[in-house]
Structure formats: structure tokens, C-alpha cells
Amino acid sequence: MISKDSIINTAKKTIEMESKSILNLSNLVDDDFAKAVEIIYNSKGRVIITGIGKSAIIANKIVATLNSTGTPSVFMHAADAIHGDLGLILEDDVVICISKSGNTPEIKVLIPLIKSAKNTIIAITGNNKSFLGTQADFVLNAFVEKEACPNNLAPTTSTTAQLVIGDALAVCLLELRGFSSNDFAKYHPGGALGKKLYLRVHDISSVNEKPKVGLDNSIREVIVEISEKMLGVTAVVEHDKIIGIITDGDLRRMLSKVDDFSKLTAKDIMGDKPKSIDSNAMAIDALEIMEANDISQLLVEENGKYAGVVHLHDLIKEGII
């Protein structure tokens, strides 16, 4: 039976081996890489990315990354390409071909067909002297000395290297395009990531109740307001301006100190320096303020006037946390 220590050592060895190979890739980035980025950036077409086997899986991921960062891309399986899918490639498209050896049979058939159509070919390969390496217009060197597989067979380090080259391409293109977080939000409208980028405070607070009391409201009225609106807080408001805040914690502290609160009013127990946020601020900013101040609610203002409450539970519900 394999020991726990042996498993941990193998895992560490794999990670260390791959990390060293990835670090070495920075030494292999040359003019071809820069020219390839410029070609893609200036292209009027799409990026077609192809490969076979594990390289095809990596190609799919690179396509997804490029698409999500503003570079239209399409995956084309190398085997399918030579059986009809070659029609995917349009006149202005740039083709990226991924292959560790650069000498697979499908690649040897595919590359001449692409060249005959005069599309630019960019190779991501670990063998610059291979068929692919010598036939491509630009070569992105993804050389690794050895696979992490103990038999040096299963694509491990090599596919990681291909992935990193793809990420480097995507980031370079992203910067050239001036791709901002707002642009990113357009491509990621769904899920927690999208919400962090586009969800604003008023999107949440507008559906909540709007608890508020005046300075002279009785404690009983304060308790009723907090209980009915179920946000654990009420704003103390005067002429639509936030004057203070009362939380259910303030009520508990009052009850522990005062025997008779019948004559107390909101102004007697309110906090007069409430944390607030503009309704047009990002929801993620509300979370940062809550975390920094160890609070669960924020009062919301719009044009300087009280506009409601955003609660930590709202952010959890929306997946911001």
C-alpha cells in the first residue's frame, strides 16, 4: 500500500517539475511571439485554434479565454478539419495549431491545406524543427524538457506549457485592446463573477424595505420599525437626510443598561456616524466596507438623500461572497 507521505511527495514533485518548466517558458518568448500577437490584434477575422488529443483540449480552453477577453475565437479539431470542418476557416482568419511533437499525421495533412488558402499559421509546439515548426509562419516555443509523468509519456508538463502560452497571448491581446472590467462584465453577465462586475447597490437595496424613523420616535416605534422591515436596522432620518442609525444590537445594549425606556426616543440611542454608500456604487464595494468595519448593514444614499438599506445577506444571496 502506498503511504500518505509517498503520495504527498509525488504531488510536490509534479508541481515543482511543472513550475520549473513554466518558468523556463519566459526565456523562450521571442520576436515570433510579439509578431503573432500583432497579427491577431490587426486581423479582421477570427482566431481558429486546432489540435488533436490533449492539445485539442487545451485548444478549447484557449478559445474560451480569448473569447471572454475580446478576441473572437473558434475551436476546430484537427481530425475533423480534414474530414469536412476545414470550411470553418474564413479568408481573414488566423490559425493557431497546437502540437507538442508537431509531427502528428493529422497536422501533416492539415497544414498544407491551410497554407494553400493563405491563412496565417501560428504554431504552439515543443519542437521547432518539426513539420509544424518549419511550416508555420510564427512559432511560439512551448518546449519542456520532460513530462511530469514518471514514464515521460502522458501529456502533463507539455499541456500545461501550452495553456500558459495561450494565457500569455490572451493577456497581451487584452492589454492591446484596452479591455476593461466593464468590457469583461459584458462577456460575463452570469454567475458570481459577472455580478461582482456589474451589480450595483441600488439593484439590491431597491427591492428591500426602507426602514426609517425620526429623531423623536419612541423606542417602541423604533422596535416596531426594525421588526416589520426585517433588516435588523433602521435609519434615523430628518428631511430625507440620514442623521443616525439604530441596529438591533443597539436595542439589546439599551435593554441591558436601562430599566425604563418608556421616555427614550430614537435620538437617545442612535449611532450618529452611520456608514453609508451611494446607490450607484458597485455591490462589491459595499461588501468591502462591511468587512472593513465588521458590520452587516449599510445605509444607502441617492443624491444625498436616504434611499434604503443593503444587507450582508443580500450580498450572500446574490453570490457576491
Identify whether 195 is part of a domain. no
Identify whether 196 is part of a domain. no
Q: Is 298 in a helix, a strand, or coil?
A: strand
Q: Is 176 in a helix, a strand, or coil?
A: helix
Q: Are residues 92 and 175 in the same domain?
A: yes
Bridge partners (DSSP) listed for residue 50: 76, 97
Q: Inform me whether the pLDDT recorded for 195 exceeds 70.
A: no
Residue 152 or 50, more confident? 50
Q: What is the CATH number of the domain that holds 209?
A: 3.10.580.10
For residue 182, what pLDDT band results from cuts at 50, 70 and 90?
Answer: low
Residue 232 falls in which region: left (phi positive, over 0), alpha (psi -120 to 50) or beta: left
Q: Which helix (H) or strand (E) holds 310?
A: strand 305-311
Number of domains making up the chain: 2
Residue 230 falls in which region: left (phi positive, over 0), alpha (psi -120 to 50) or beta: left
pLDDT single digits (tens) 99-141: 999 999 999 999 999 999 999 999 999 999 999 999 999 999 9
Residues 230 and 86: their CA atoms lie apart, in Å, by 61
- Domain hosting residue 273, numbered range: 201-317
Q: What's this model's pTM, rounded to 2 decimal places?
A: 0.67
CA 41: distance to chain centroid? Answer: 22
What letter does residue 265 receive in the DSSP assignment?
A: B
